[in-house]
Amino acid sequence: MTKLKDNNAQNFKNSFKDKVILITGASSGIGAALAKGFAQEKAKLALLARRFNKLEVIASLCKMSDSQALALVCDVSKETEIEKAVATVQQQLGSIDVVIANAGFGVVANVENLTLTDFQRQFETNVYGVLRTLYATLDDLKKTQGRLVIIGSASGHISIPKYAAYAMSKHAITALAETLYAELAPYGISVTLISPGFVKTEIRNVNNLGIYQEGTRDPLPEWLRLDADKAAKIIIKAIRLRQRERIITVSGKLGVILNRVFPGLLPRFFRWQAMRKK
């Protein structure tokens, strides 16, 4: 009986009911799946993304679960948009308890076929967008002793050909999360880095300019990609427990483990593949 009471008390403590949760990149993929997952717990949701029509659909689905959901157009690569969005959230929903920096896309091509502008564009969203989100919400997180969640990637631990720009941005995010994990601890803020492998999202429908292309076929086989809703359940559990990092998907875990246990193995394999093709 005592154990049951302790579990109930712990569940109540970790409940997201009425917590204000801000999610960037919430119009599709992991961001949308997280929004729907938190809506089931009756959280107050601030959903940010560039595509308002898709945001409205997600917000409507969340409201069907009796959750408050505020849809706001926001491009995290723009200097002041996240600050304006956060001000609106504070005014309409209150102080923010959970911040999920999820917005991102991938620049994909051999380095010799990219320009500095391509790398800058990648970092503006994937790195500086996360920093803008952090700075805009940090005061609230200190006030609420909240949770900062950074959606990184298994590519933040390993690198593969054609993904240099993306992997560089995610390696930077990994370093940022590890630093913030220590720096924000005195304020009671937890920092959770989520490092997914292949998930069923629209990231491969977005070109190198960051523009969504309707109908683009994902080259990865279905069996290799984890359903976004299943990924969201794992991520929400990690956020609830204030875990430092959670690597998800079999492919993501396998790649990271191989790189840690056998450093140099994957780079040599990719080099061998490149030489074969030549």
Tell if the pTM clears 0.85, that is, is over it.
yes
Q: What is the DSSP letter of 150?
A: E
Residues 6+ apart with CB under 8 A from 183: none
Q: How far apart are CA 14 and CA 118, in angstroms?
A: 41
Task: Break the chain into its structural domains and give their ranges.
Answer: 10-277
Which of 20, 28, 34 has its CA nearest to residue 70? 20
Q: What is the pLDDT of residues 208-267, one digit of tens each?
A: 565 655 556 655 556 557 888 999 999 999 999 999 999 998 888 998 999 999 988 888
∠ CA 249-35-67 to the nearest 5 degrees?
Answer: 145
**Res. 1: pLDDT tops 60:** no
Q: Which is the CATH superfamily of the domain at 10-277? A: NAD(P)-binding Rossmann-like Domain (3.40.50.720)
**Res. 113: pLDDT tops 70:** yes
1 token code pair: 């009986």
Average pLDDT score over residue span 190-201: 88
Catalytic residues: 166
Q: What is the pLDDT of residues 128-156, one digit of tens each?
A: 999 999 999 999 999 999 999 999 999 99
HSE of 269 in the Cβ direction (CA atoms, 13 Å)? 11
